């Protein structure tokens, strides 16, 4: 039989036990049942669900996002799932653009800095000290 303890579930999904209980508190994952002792029991459904959560997190979804995704996948609403993925993609692209802006700024400063000599000649310090230019 494929009944798992919380420790086995956690190990097979690659998360910490405390994380499983945390997800339960936050309505992301409910045990299939409990033993008379109160011990949680999980089946393959829960294992898949937990792995889904882990992968979605790796794709940059927040737990709120994931709760919504899980509800949608329960409803099998493919169109809405696709739209959610598109929104997340747009969000990721914004974050990339912002980091690229920062990278450009740093790159320029580093390239222009001789790396020795007077502080006044260091464009990094100057850039950080300079007045606004819009």
Partner DNA sequence: CTGCACCCTGGATCCAGGTCCAGAGTCAAG
Partner DNA sequence: CTTGACTCTGGACCTGGATCCAGGGTGCAG
According to the binding rule CB under 8 A, does residue 118 interact with its own copies?
A: yes
Residues 6+ apart with CB under 8 A from 18: none
- C-alpha–C-alpha distance, residues 11 and 37, integer Å: 22
Hey, which residues between 41 and 100 contact its own copies (CB under 8 A)?
Answer: 48, 51-52, 55-56, 58-60, 69, 73, 76, 78-79, 81-82, 85-86, 88-89, 92-93, 95-96, 99-100
Cα torsion 92, 98, 100, 103 to 10°: value is -140
- Quote the CA–CA distance of 113 and 101 in Å, as a whole number: 19
Residues in contact with its own copies by the rule CB under 8 A: 48, 51-52, 55-56, 58-60, 69, 73, 76, 78-79, 81-82, 85-86, 88-89, 92-93, 95-96, 99-100, 102-103, 105-107, 109-110, 113-119, 121-122, 124-125, 127-129, 132
């Amino acid at each position: 039989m494929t009944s798992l303890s919380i420790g086995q579930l956690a190990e097979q999904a690659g998360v910490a036990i405390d994380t499983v209980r945390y997800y339960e508190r936050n309505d992301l994952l409910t045990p299939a049942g409990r033993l008379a002792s109160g011990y949680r029991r999980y089946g393959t459904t829960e294992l898949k669900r937990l792995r889904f959560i882990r992968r979605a997190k790796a794709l940059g979804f927040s737990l709120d996002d994931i709760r919504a995704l899980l509800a949608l996948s329960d409803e099998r609403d493919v169109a809405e799932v696709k739209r959610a993925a598109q929104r997340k993609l747009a969000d990721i692209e914004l974050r990339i653009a912002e980091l690229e802006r920062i990278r450009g700024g740093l790159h320029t400063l580093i390239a222009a800095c001789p790396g020795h000599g007077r502080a006044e000649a260091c464009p990094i310090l100057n850039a950080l000290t300079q007045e606004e230019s819009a």
